């Protein structure tokens, strides 16, 4: 039977609090955003590798605080017009590292947030306390920030993310297949979402249900693609 060509329909990732699956490995981050009114310097940081859930935590905090996003380019240009709409905002550095020219804008930003009784959530790959900053006052402030590391999901959380991803797409997948994927997949939220999408596409294209056999085929294909990209 010839394979169909499934349409790559957009699937919106949900970042609401109800969509956040709690586990021991991410409890610290959830508590940090819940207790944001108690941040001693009116600022905090969530840090960790890619696909560990930092963006989801930041979006939960934005919803709870009414905060806005501060674009990295605007931050570096000291364009803080975003403060006109809200004194609370997220500075998501993505993969960027704090450069020498960022130190004074960041120090100014921390002071401005405190003056306006706002709040700042920094999202980064590396803990701000480890950034190689030369301004002594800024280094001291960064070391004192409350922080939480966003870590890779444990087995239970990874399986729950897979199960939720399948359910969101109205796909019926048995526990054996979910367990099979959990034991053989890269351990990140991004990997879980990518795997659910690929399995959805493969099941539609081959007119097959998602089971252990199809899961093995998709994992093998994704491994070959990764090797070729490397």
pLDDT digits (tens, 9 = 90+) for 102-128: 898 899 889 888 888 899 999 999 999
| Residues 50 and 120 both lie in one domain | yes
| Residues 35 and 145 both lie in one domain | yes
In a domain, 12, yes or no: no
Report the range out of 84-98, 105-119, 170-184 with the highest average pLDDT: 170-184
Phi, psi of 98 (to 5 degrees): -70, 120
Q: Are residues 36 and 118 in contact, defined by beta-carbon separation less than 8 angstroms?
A: no
In a domain, 2, yes or no: no
In a domain, 205, yes or no: yes
Identify the CATH number of the domain in which residue 62 sits: 3.40.50.300
Q: Is 164 exposed, middle or buried (0-12, 13-18, 19+ CB in 10 A)?
A: middle
| Residues 55 and 93 both lie in one domain | yes
Domain that holds residue 219: 155-229
| Residues 132 and 188 both lie in one domain | no
| Residues 114 and 173 both lie in one domain | no
| Residues 51 and 97 both lie in one domain | yes
pLDDT digits (tens, 9 = 90+) for 2-27: 344 343 434 445 444 445 555 555 67
In a domain, 167, yes or no: yes
| Residues 53 and 90 both lie in one domain | yes
pTM of this structure: 0.71
What pLDDT, on a 0 to 100 scale, did the predictor assign at position 24? 59
Arithmetic mean of pLDDT over the chain? 83
Separation of CA 208 from chain center: 32
Helix ranges, the chain (H): 27-34, 54-65, 72-76, 103-115, 136-144, 155-168, 175-184, 189-206, 212-229
Domain boundary among 123, 149, 175: 149
| Residues 224 and 172 both lie in one domain | yes
| Residues 62 and 134 both lie in one domain | yes
Phi, psi of 146 (to 5 degrees): -70, 135
What pLDDT, on a 0 to 100 scale, did the predictor assign at position 180? 95
In a domain, 46, yes or no: yes
In a domain, 4, yes or no: no
| Residues 36 and 136 both lie in one domain | yes
Q: How many domains does the chain have?
A: 2
Answer yes or no: is pLDDT of 230 > 80: no
Domain boundary among 149, 171, 204: 149
What pLDDT, on a 0 to 100 scale, did the predictor assign at position 202? 94
Identify the CATH number of the domain in which residue 164 sits: 1.10.8.60
Mean pLDDT value across residues 198-222: 94
Mean pLDDT value across residues 74-87: 74
In a domain, 1, yes or no: no
In a domain, 54, yes or no: yes
Better-scored residue on pLDDT, 151 or 200: 200
| Residues 161 and 223 both lie in one domain | yes
| Residues 49 and 141 both lie in one domain | yes
Mean pLDDT value across residues 132-161: 90
What pLDDT, on a 0 to 100 scale, did the predictor assign at position 74? 80
What pLDDT, on a 0 to 100 scale, did the predictor assign at position 71? 82
């Amino acid at each position: 039977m010839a394979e169909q060509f499934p349409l790559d329909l957009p699937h919106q990732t949900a970042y609401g609090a109800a969509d956040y699956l709690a586990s021991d490995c991410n409890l610290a981050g959830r508590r940090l955003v819940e207790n944001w009114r108690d941040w001693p310097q009116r600022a905090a940081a969530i840090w960790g590798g890619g696909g560990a859930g930092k963006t989801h935590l930041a979006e939960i905090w934005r919803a709870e605080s009414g905060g806005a996003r501060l674009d990295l380019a605007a931050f570096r240009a000291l364009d803080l017009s975003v403060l006109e709409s809200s004194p609370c905002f997220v500075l998501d550095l993505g993969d960027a590292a704090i450069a020498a020219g960022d130190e004074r804008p960041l120090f100014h930003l921390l002071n401005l947030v405190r003056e306006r009784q706002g709040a700042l959530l920094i999202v980064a790959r590396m803990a701000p306390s480890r950034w190689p900053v030369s301004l002594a006052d800024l280094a001291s402030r960064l070391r004192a920030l409350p922080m939480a590391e966003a870590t890779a999901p444990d087995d239970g959380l990874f399986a729950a993310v897979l199960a939720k991803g399948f359910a969101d797409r109205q796909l019926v997948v048995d526990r054996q297949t979910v367990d099979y994927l959990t034991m053989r997949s890269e351990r990140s939220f991004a990997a879980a979402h990518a795997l659910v999408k690929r399995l959805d596409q493969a099941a539609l294209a081959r007119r097959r249900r998602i089971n252990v056999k199809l899961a093995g085929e998709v994992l093998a294909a994704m491994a070959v693609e990764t090797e070729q990209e490397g």
